[in-house]
Homo-oligomer: A and B are copies of this chain.
Amino acid sequence: MTDYFISPDILLYVLDMMGIVACAVAGTLLAQHKGFDIFGCVLVAMVNAIGGGTMRDIALDRHPLFWMTDHNYVIGITLVSLAMQMFFHLSHKIGTVIKVFDAVGLAAFSVIGFKVALSMGVSPAIAVMMAVWTSIIGGMIRDIICNEIPLVLQREIYITASVAGSCVYLMLDALNVKTGVNDFVMLGTIFTIRILAMRFDWHLPSIRLVK
Protein backbone atom coordinates (compact mmCIF):
# COMPACT_ATOMS: atom_id res chain seq x y z
CA MET A 1 0.00 0.00 0.00
CA THR A 2 3.06 2.23 0.08
CA ASP A 3 3.04 4.91 -2.54
CA TYR A 4 6.81 5.46 -2.45
CA PHE A 5 8.91 4.42 -5.42
CA ILE A 6 11.77 3.52 -3.08
CA SER A 7 10.86 2.74 0.53
CA PRO A 8 12.22 5.31 3.03
CA ASP A 9 14.07 2.57 4.93
CA ILE A 10 15.94 1.45 1.82
CA LEU A 11 16.77 5.04 0.90
CA LEU A 12 18.12 5.65 4.43
CA TYR A 13 20.17 2.44 4.18
CA VAL A 14 21.68 3.57 0.87
CA LEU A 15 22.56 6.97 2.36
CA ASP A 16 24.00 5.18 5.42
CA MET A 17 26.24 3.12 3.12
CA MET A 18 27.40 6.26 1.31
CA GLY A 19 28.45 7.63 4.70
CA ILE A 20 30.21 4.36 5.54
CA VAL A 21 32.17 4.54 2.26
CA ALA A 22 33.17 8.16 2.96
CA CYS A 23 34.33 7.27 6.47
CA ALA A 24 36.26 4.23 5.23
CA VAL A 25 38.02 6.34 2.60
CA ALA A 26 38.81 9.18 5.01
CA GLY A 27 40.06 6.76 7.67
CA THR A 28 42.27 4.93 5.19
CA LEU A 29 43.77 8.15 3.80
CA LEU A 30 44.68 9.47 7.25
CA ALA A 31 46.09 6.07 8.28
CA GLN A 32 48.20 5.97 5.10
CA HIS A 33 49.66 9.38 5.91
CA LYS A 34 50.58 8.06 9.35
CA GLY A 35 52.41 5.10 7.82
CA PHE A 36 50.12 2.38 9.14
CA ASP A 37 50.28 -1.04 7.49
CA ILE A 38 47.50 -2.70 5.42
CA PHE A 39 45.49 -3.97 8.38
CA GLY A 40 46.21 -0.84 10.42
CA CYS A 41 44.54 1.16 7.64
CA VAL A 42 41.58 -1.22 7.58
CA LEU A 43 41.23 -0.89 11.35
CA VAL A 44 41.22 2.92 11.24
CA ALA A 45 38.67 2.75 8.40
CA MET A 46 36.47 0.48 10.58
CA VAL A 47 36.77 2.76 13.61
CA ASN A 48 35.87 5.82 11.56
CA ALA A 49 32.89 4.13 9.88
CA ILE A 50 31.29 2.06 12.64
CA GLY A 51 32.83 3.48 15.85
CA GLY A 52 30.03 5.94 16.49
CA GLY A 53 27.21 3.44 15.95
CA THR A 54 29.04 0.90 18.10
CA MET A 55 29.34 3.32 21.03
CA ARG A 56 25.66 4.24 20.59
CA ASP A 57 24.58 0.59 20.69
CA ILE A 58 26.76 -0.08 23.75
CA ALA A 59 25.41 3.00 25.57
CA LEU A 60 21.83 1.94 24.79
CA ASP A 61 22.52 -1.76 25.62
CA ARG A 62 21.41 -2.76 22.12
CA HIS A 63 22.87 -6.16 21.27
CA PRO A 64 24.05 -7.70 19.02
CA LEU A 65 25.80 -4.61 17.64
CA PHE A 66 24.42 -3.54 14.26
CA TRP A 67 27.46 -4.69 12.26
CA MET A 68 27.41 -8.15 13.86
CA THR A 69 24.17 -9.09 12.13
CA ASP A 70 24.57 -7.16 8.87
CA HIS A 71 27.92 -8.13 7.34
CA ASN A 72 27.68 -5.50 4.60
CA TYR A 73 29.35 -3.04 6.97
CA VAL A 74 32.49 -5.01 7.85
CA ILE A 75 32.99 -6.47 4.38
CA GLY A 76 32.22 -3.20 2.61
CA ILE A 77 34.64 -1.20 4.77
CA THR A 78 37.41 -3.77 4.28
CA LEU A 79 37.00 -3.76 0.49
CA VAL A 80 36.82 0.04 0.28
CA SER A 81 39.92 0.39 2.47
CA LEU A 82 41.93 -2.13 0.42
CA ALA A 83 40.86 -0.49 -2.85
CA MET A 84 41.77 2.92 -1.48
CA GLN A 85 45.22 1.68 -0.49
CA MET A 86 45.80 0.24 -3.96
CA PHE A 87 44.64 3.37 -5.76
CA PHE A 88 46.11 5.86 -3.27
CA HIS A 89 47.57 7.89 -6.14
CA LEU A 90 44.03 8.72 -7.29
CA SER A 91 42.94 10.01 -3.90
CA HIS A 92 43.28 13.70 -4.80
CA LYS A 93 40.85 13.18 -7.69
CA ILE A 94 37.98 12.07 -5.49
CA GLY A 95 38.24 14.82 -2.86
CA THR A 96 34.97 16.54 -3.74
CA VAL A 97 33.00 13.31 -4.05
CA ILE A 98 34.23 12.19 -0.65
CA LYS A 99 33.32 15.51 0.96
CA VAL A 100 29.76 15.20 -0.36
CA PHE A 101 29.57 11.55 0.78
CA ASP A 102 30.90 12.66 4.17
CA ALA A 103 28.10 15.20 4.48
CA VAL A 104 25.60 12.50 3.47
CA GLY A 105 27.11 10.28 6.16
CA LEU A 106 26.88 12.98 8.84
CA ALA A 107 23.19 13.40 8.00
CA ALA A 108 22.37 9.68 7.69
CA PHE A 109 24.29 8.67 10.86
CA SER A 110 22.54 11.45 12.81
CA VAL A 111 19.06 10.44 11.65
CA ILE A 112 19.73 6.74 12.32
CA GLY A 113 21.25 7.42 15.75
CA PHE A 114 18.37 9.71 16.65
CA LYS A 115 15.69 7.23 15.62
CA VAL A 116 17.43 4.22 17.17
CA ALA A 117 17.68 6.12 20.47
CA LEU A 118 13.98 7.08 20.36
CA SER A 119 13.03 3.49 19.54
CA MET A 120 14.92 2.40 22.70
CA GLY A 121 12.64 4.66 24.72
CA VAL A 122 15.02 7.44 25.77
CA SER A 123 13.94 11.06 26.11
CA PRO A 124 14.34 13.59 23.26
CA ALA A 125 17.32 15.28 24.99
CA ILE A 126 19.20 11.98 25.16
CA ALA A 127 18.20 11.18 21.54
CA VAL A 128 19.83 14.45 20.41
CA MET A 129 23.01 13.36 22.22
CA MET A 130 22.85 9.94 20.57
CA ALA A 131 22.50 11.53 17.13
CA VAL A 132 25.70 13.47 17.86
CA TRP A 133 27.50 10.37 19.23
CA THR A 134 26.62 8.25 16.23
CA SER A 135 27.82 10.82 13.74
CA ILE A 136 30.84 12.21 15.60
CA ILE A 137 32.54 9.58 17.76
CA GLY A 138 33.92 7.54 14.85
CA GLY A 139 35.85 10.52 13.51
CA MET A 140 36.91 11.47 17.02
CA ILE A 141 38.43 8.06 17.77
CA ARG A 142 40.06 8.04 14.31
CA ASP A 143 41.82 11.32 15.08
CA ILE A 144 42.75 10.17 18.59
CA ILE A 145 44.33 6.97 17.25
CA CYS A 146 46.25 9.01 14.68
CA ASN A 147 47.39 11.43 17.44
CA GLU A 148 45.56 14.45 15.99
CA ILE A 149 43.25 16.94 17.68
CA PRO A 150 39.74 15.78 16.64
CA LEU A 151 38.62 17.80 13.61
CA VAL A 152 34.93 17.37 14.41
CA LEU A 153 35.29 19.32 17.67
CA GLN A 154 36.86 22.34 16.02
CA ARG A 155 35.12 25.23 14.32
CA GLU A 156 33.82 23.03 11.54
CA ILE A 157 30.03 22.90 11.96
CA TYR A 158 29.75 19.15 12.44
CA ILE A 159 28.06 18.81 15.83
CA THR A 160 26.14 22.04 15.17
CA ALA A 161 24.59 20.60 11.99
CA SER A 162 23.60 17.39 13.77
CA VAL A 163 22.03 19.24 16.71
CA ALA A 164 20.18 21.62 14.36
CA GLY A 165 18.75 18.67 12.43
CA SER A 166 17.53 16.99 15.62
CA CYS A 167 15.90 20.22 16.76
CA VAL A 168 14.07 20.56 13.44
CA TYR A 169 12.83 16.96 13.82
CA LEU A 170 11.56 17.64 17.34
CA MET A 171 9.81 20.83 16.23
CA LEU A 172 8.07 19.07 13.32
CA ASP A 173 7.15 16.21 15.65
CA ALA A 174 5.55 18.69 18.07
CA LEU A 175 3.52 19.93 15.08
CA ASN A 176 2.39 16.32 14.38
CA VAL A 177 4.16 16.02 11.03
CA LYS A 178 4.28 12.44 9.72
CA THR A 179 7.37 10.48 10.88
CA GLY A 180 8.74 9.60 7.43
CA VAL A 181 8.65 13.26 6.44
CA ASN A 182 10.43 14.31 9.66
CA ASP A 183 13.28 11.94 8.90
CA PHE A 184 14.00 13.42 5.54
CA VAL A 185 13.61 17.02 6.63
CA MET A 186 16.15 16.29 9.39
CA LEU A 187 18.42 14.59 6.87
CA GLY A 188 18.14 17.48 4.42
CA THR A 189 18.73 20.08 7.12
CA ILE A 190 21.98 18.47 8.32
CA PHE A 191 23.25 17.83 4.79
CA THR A 192 22.48 21.38 3.67
CA ILE A 193 24.08 23.04 6.70
CA ARG A 194 27.23 20.91 6.33
CA ILE A 195 27.54 21.54 2.58
CA LEU A 196 26.98 25.29 3.00
CA ALA A 197 29.52 25.35 5.86
CA MET A 198 32.13 23.76 3.58
CA ARG A 199 31.23 25.86 0.54
CA PHE A 200 31.33 29.21 2.32
CA ASP A 201 33.89 28.25 4.98
CA TRP A 202 31.43 28.88 7.81
CA HIS A 203 32.67 28.61 11.35
CA LEU A 204 30.72 28.78 14.54
CA PRO A 205 31.47 32.06 16.32
CA SER A 206 32.70 31.97 19.88
CA ILE A 207 30.16 33.08 22.49
CA ARG A 208 32.63 34.89 24.75
CA LEU A 209 31.06 38.09 26.09
CA VAL A 210 34.44 39.83 26.49
CA LYS A 211 37.22 39.16 23.99
**A13 on interface, CB distance cutoff 8 Å:** no
Interface centre among A61, A147, A153, A208 (most CB of B within 10 A): A153
**A68 on interface, CB distance cutoff 8 Å:** yes
Query: How far, in whole Å, are A145 and B142 apart by their CA atoms in the complex?
Result: 11
**A209 on interface, CB distance cutoff 8 Å:** yes
Asked whether, in the complex, the Cβ of A89 is within 8 Å of the Cβ of B140, the reply is no
Considering only residues 176-211 of chain A, those with a C-beta below 8 Å from chain B are: 203-204, 206-210
Across-interface contacts of A155 in B (CB, < 8 A): 35-37
Query: How far, in whole Å, are A89 and B125 apart by their CA atoms in the complex?
Result: 30
A63-B61, A68-B126 known; A159+B89 contact, CB < 8 A: no
Asked whether, in the complex, the Cβ of A40 is within 8 Å of the Cβ of B159, the reply is yes
Asked whether, in the complex, the Cβ of B204 is within 8 Å of the Cβ of A37, the reply is yes
Query: How far, in whole Å, are A31 and B206 apart by their CA atoms in the complex?
Result: 12
- Copies of this chain assembled into the complex: 3
Chain B proximity of A6: nearest CB distance (Å): 29
Q: Size range of the interface on A?
A: 35 or more
**A86 on interface, CB distance cutoff 8 Å:** yes
Across-interface contacts of A60 in B (CB, < 8 A): 63-64
User: Which of B31, B44, B82, B209 makes the CB contact (< 8 A) with A207?
Assistant: B82
Chain B proximity of A149: nearest CB distance (Å): 5
**Chain A: residues with CB nearer than 8 A to chain B?**
31, 34-40, 43-44, 46, 54, 58-61, 63-65, 67-68, 71, 74-75, 82, 85-89, 122-123, 125-126, 129, 132, 136, 140, 144-150, 152-157, 159-160, 163, 203-204, 206-210
The 3 nearest A-B residue pairs measured at CB: A40-B153, A39-B159, A61-B63
10 pairs, A vs B, C-beta closer than 8 Å = A34-B153, A36-B153, A37-B157, A37-B160, A37-B203, A38-B204, A40-B150, A74-B126, A85-B208, A145-B150
